[in-house]
Structure 1
Amino acid sequence: MDSISLNSETGNLSINSSWLNESSPMIPNFYLAIPLIYSVICAVGLTGNTAVIYVILKAPNMKTVTNMFILNLAIADELFTLVLPINIADYLLLQWPFGEFMCKLIISIDQYNIFSSIYFLTVMSIDRYLVVVATVKSRKMSYRTYRAAKTVSLCVWIFVTVIILPFIIFAKIHDEYGRLQCVFVFPNPESMWWQMSRIYTLIVGFTIPVSTICILYTMMLYKLRHMRLNTNGKALDKAKKKVTFMVLIILAVCLFCWTPYHLSTVVALTTDIPQTPLVIGISFFITSLSYANSCLNPFLYAFLDDNFRKSFRKLVECRTS
């Protein structure tokens, strides 16, 4: 669950209660700070993503293809922030009191959080690329409809569900030193299975989608540059440029928040790291940064999308009046 201590034998991230009794003052400080940070992420994420979901569902002018994908991003973030209090309780109690069903449910939502955001961003990047190609060739995209975006979004959720099935299967309650923990319980040899799970997450949850996105944006920039040379830069209107820029910024923030998490996988696979206070602190920071992505996206929409701000104001004014 929480990226606190890496156990190379079980492959799980867990809290060692003996750290709380160590002489270093850093450990108690970590122990007190992390629930506070997670609580802030939870409160901000719930408020922001609820606002995004409400505006897109209620405002008629927000029902666009891009906003359909943004809606699903917000739903994924909302799900994660809804269950974050359970993660906080698990952290504070130093054991899992909620049973095996809740263990599988919470771990599945954690895994949805890892995979769904990057794959919806991949779909959004594909959509932006197709828009640019169609504009360059002066073609109409009759198939690019709000209904089609709903179908694509459903396919993404099904695809991500298939990806995370192995994690749901291996999520179990395990007795560690007299404390029940919600962890991944792998068959023997556990270390090999743990390494395979980390490589699986790294490749499927980061390398493949990020490589796809990078290729798409490289091709898109090439076509835009070529288009400017031949059409004096008039083929893309201002609105399309703004949407493309917003998708690019959302992607950049996602990569900023999640890249350290996936880089830590590489380090964990290649290096035997001693659990010093500094390493524990870095682990706290990396986990908090990945969690923070769930509450940052609503602010990006508010800053970058004029339609979102106007629709939000109208809805607030209507409810107030």
Structure 2
Amino acid sequence: MGVCDIGNDINISSGLNLNTTGITTFSMAGWQLVLWATAYLVLVLVAVTGNATVIWVILAHQRMRTITNYFIVNLALADLCTAAFNAAFNFVYASHNIWYFGRAFCYFLNLFPIMAMFVSIYSMAAVAADRYMAIVHPFQPRLSAPGTKAVIAGIWLVALALAFPQCFYSTIIVDEGATKCLVAWPEESRGKMVLLYHLLVIVLIYFLPLMVMFVAYSIIGFTLWRRAVPRNQIHGANSRHLQAKKKFVKTMVLVVVTFAICWLPYHLYFILGHFQEDIYCHKFIQQVYLALFWLAMSSTMYNPIIYCCLNHRFRSGFRLAFRCFPWVTPTEEDKLELTHTPSVSVRVNRCHTKEILLFTGDTPPFEAANGQGRSPQDGVAPEP
């Protein structure tokens, strides 16, 4: 990790997360600090409010409780916690260069950022895998509710194991009267071992899952867009199911691409820093780091906006959630979108089941007619 003295004893250091890097002083004018504080405050408020609303829309309405949406809840929870803890507390620490929050929280804040990012991206990967099975292999057994809980628990446990080394070596020091929270790697592990650990983390929480999702959504897109609905069903349920699936794929691809764009500069910055430590010896790097960190953290606030803009049920849910504001007026249709469950399902003869399910797969995420949706084995084609 590079440390440089700039001007009036300004120390800039680097690491995977801001609070794991040792001493970091941001020497800036008061007006700059106010602008950055405002930018981070807006980020935290939008991310916490938006993701909390997404969680409420799904968990408070039976119609939204589908297998896929539980992974969306897991993603929203990770993003909410990232904004509330990582973005907020790291900015306070960076702007003052003094650790105010005690030893226990030092351990937590060196552990949680990697955990949260791992959970976020692997929740997206779980959604991609679920959609892949539903659309490309609709007759294969689907993930059950207990299986979904097990997958979510497994994601958190693996995330904990990956982040544990930084937590284990976290420590509090006092430097010239100022308390610091940093990661003190043992002497024998410095150099190549630390570099390998950080590169492994970046591969596992960024490049590998993005490659998997790229392949999965490419196959899903090819499968969906090559399908043709029979002429006599072009305005029927099969066509609506197909369009709903296409729209959902577009939504999730946008979510993944947004995540990738927000985090790529941040990871490249630290990969470069490992091989060229003198980049931290420039004063402008202070502003560059704050900008890159804000961009990375901003990934936590975009998903609720994407859901609200591209999905009518979430739009209805947001209107219901914010109905206390005078400029938000939910309609009866909004309430029906989240509470009304269609009572009629189209039963399909066994001889036609394969043909129908070729187009429907299963109930689209966000569009489920009941708590779990229906599997292909049900022999019915639920309406969206």
Q: Shorter-chain-normalised TM-score: which range?
A: 0.7 to 0.9
Q: Could you report, residue by residue, the CA deviation over 1:82-108 in whole angstroms, capped at 9, with x for unpaired residues?
A: 324433432343211222111111222
SS of the equivalent of 1:258 reads: helix
Residue 172 (structure 2) pairs with residue 173 (structure 1): yes
**Greater alpha carbon shift after TM alignment, 150-159 vs 61-70:** 150-159
2:347 aligns to what? none
Q: Could you report, residue by residue, the CA deviation over 1:47-88 in whole angstroms, capped at 9, with x for unpaired residues?
A: 111111111111121111221111111111121223244334
Residue 304 (structure 2) pairs with residue 284 (structure 1): no
Residue 124 (structure 2) pairs with residue 121 (structure 1): yes
1:23 aligns to what? none
1:182 aligns to what? 181
Give the direction of change, closer, same or farther, for the CA distance of 1:194–1:37 in structure 2 (3 Å limit).
farther
Q: Of Structure 1 and Structure 2, which has the larger fraction of its residues in helix?
A: 1
1:269 aligns to what? 274
1:59 aligns to what? 61
Give the direction of change, closer, same or farther, for the CA distance of 1:270–1:70 in structure 2 (3 Å limit).
same
CA distance in 2, matches of 1:36, 1:314: 28
Q: Displacement, 1:181? A: 1.3
Q: Displacement, 1:7? A: 4.5
CA distance in 2, matches of 1:16, 1:88: 11
SS of the equivalent of 1:237 reads: helix
CA distance in 1, matches of 2:141, 2:314: 25
**Greater alpha carbon shift after TM alignment, 243-252 vs 230-239:** 230-239
CA distance in 2, matches of 1:217, 1:314: 32
Report the RMSD for the aligned CA atoms in angstroms: 3.1
Q: Could you report, residue by residue, the CA deviation over 1:130-149 in whole angstroms, capped at 9, with x for unpaired residues?
A: 122124xxx2x553444433
What code does the residue aligned with 1:111 have? I
Q: For the Cα contact (< 8 Å) 2:308–2:318, is it kept in 1?
A: no
Flag structure 2 segments of 5+ consecutive residues without an equivalent.
1-10, 331-384
Q: Could you report, residue by residue, the CA deviation over 1:149-178 in whole angstroms, capped at 9, with x for unpaired residues?
A: 333222211221122111211222133444
CA distance in 1, matches of 2:185, 2:23: 19
Give the direction of change, closer, same or farther, for the CA distance of 1:122–1:231 in structure 2 (3 Å limit).
farther
Q: For the Cα contact (< 8 Å) 1:68–1:146, is it kept in 2?
A: no
Flag structure 1 segments of 5+ consecutive residues without an equivalent.
21-25
CA distance in 2, matches of 1:87, 1:274: 18
What code does the residue aligned with 2:294 have? S
CA distance in 2, matches of 1:283, 1:54: 34
SS of the equivalent of 1:143 reads: coil
Give the direction of change, closer, same or farther, for the CA distance of 1:125–1:176 in structure 2 (3 Å limit).
farther
Q: For the Cα contact (< 8 Å) 1:172–1:185, is it kept in 2?
A: yes
Which of 32, 36, 39 is the aligned partner of 1:37? 39
In the superposition, the TM-score normalised over structure 1's length comes to 0.83
Residue 161 (structure 2) pairs with residue 162 (structure 1): yes
Alignment of 1:189-208 (within 5 A): 189=188, 190-208=190-208
Residue 157 (structure 2) pairs with residue 149 (structure 1): no
Which of 278, 294, 316 is the aligned partner of 2:300? 294
Q: For the Cα contact (< 8 Å) 2:166–2:183, is it kept in 1?
A: yes
Q: For the Cα contact (< 8 Å) 1:59–1:315, is it kept in 2?
A: no
Alignment of 1:214-253 (within 5 A): 214-224=214-224, 227-228=226-227, 237-253=242-258
SS of the equivalent of 2:172 reads: strand
Alignment identity in percent? 23
Residue 21 (structure 2) pairs with residue 13 (structure 1): yes
SS of the equivalent of 2:182 reads: strand
What code does the residue aligned with 1:263 have? L
Residue 88 (structure 2) pairs with residue 80 (structure 1): no
What code does the residue aligned with 1:134 have? H
What code does the residue aligned with 1:198 have? H
Q: Could you report, residue by residue, the CA deviation over 1:178-213 in whole angstroms, capped at 9, with x for unpaired residues?
A: 422111110115333432332122222112212211
In the superposition, the TM-score normalised over structure 2's length comes to 0.70
1:109 aligns to what? 112
Q: Could you report, residue by residue, the CA deviation over 1:229-275 in whole angstroms, capped at 9, with x for unpaired residues?
A: 89899786111112211111111111111111111232112223143
Q: Displacement, 1:317? A: 5.5
Q: Displacement, 1:303? A: 0.8
Q: Displacement, 1:111? A: 1.9
SS of the equivalent of 1:95 reads: coil
Give the direction of change, closer, same or farther, for the CA distance of 1:281–1:242 in structure 2 (3 Å limit).
same
Give the direction of change, closer, same or farther, for the CA distance of 1:32–1:176 in structure 2 (3 Å limit).
farther
Which one scores higher on RCO, CA 8 angstroms, separation ≥ 6?
A: 1
